[in-house]
Homo-oligomer: A and B are copies of this chain.
Amino acid sequence: MSKGLLIVLSGPSGVGKGTVCTALRSRVPELVYSVSATTRSPRLGEVNGVNYFFKSREQFMDMIENDQLLEYAEYVGNYYGTPRDFVEETLATGRDIILEIEVQGALKVKEKFPDGIFVFLMPPSLDELKDRIQGRGTESQATIDHRMSVAVDEINLLQHYDYAVVNDEINLACERIQSIIIAEHCKVRK
């Protein structure tokens, strides 16, 4: 039995990572989804081990200390991270696992897991990305400009990734990622 692959799906904020990841999971049900650990409280309907691994702040600090997270970050007062055990146990059973994560987090995962397949989801164009960022709501021009400049900085990190997949259409993006997974399984490891 060959080992599974860790597929890291990343890309700038607003590019549609979440949507593509959800569509991909429904097309490829055998693809395991990397469940994050978090210190935030469960919301109504969220299930421990499915949506998140819910942890106390103390438990989370222990995980950091014992190098049990491939990456972590603080966001609005709560911690979020990728448990290493869950990823490694899945791979050991020969199953592939997908991790959807923002660009900085992906680069941290790469340090600890250089054998991962790093896929960067690209907007069809910067204009398109701007439309998507603007279309989200009623943000100020300053906020939109800031988010665009962050996105451009993130796109400049593309060189650290293995693959660039244009998200022009969800089905096409999914097909490209499925092709990448099939091709990686055919790769001759040297």
Residues of chain A at the chain B interface (Cβ within 8 Å): 119-120, 158-159, 161-165, 175-176, 178-180, 182-184, 186-188, 190
Contacts and interface: CB of A to CB of B under 8 A. Distances in A.
Nearest to A158: B188
Contacts of A158: 188
Given A182-B179, A183-B180, A184-B183, A159 B190 contact: yes
A164 B161 CA distance: 23
How many copies of the polypeptide does the oligomer hold?
2
A93 to B, nearest CB: 21
A47 to B, nearest CB: 34
Contacts of A159: 188, 190
Given A163-B187, A176-B183, A179-B186, 5 more contacts: A159-B188, A164-B186, A164-B188, A175-B182, A179-B179
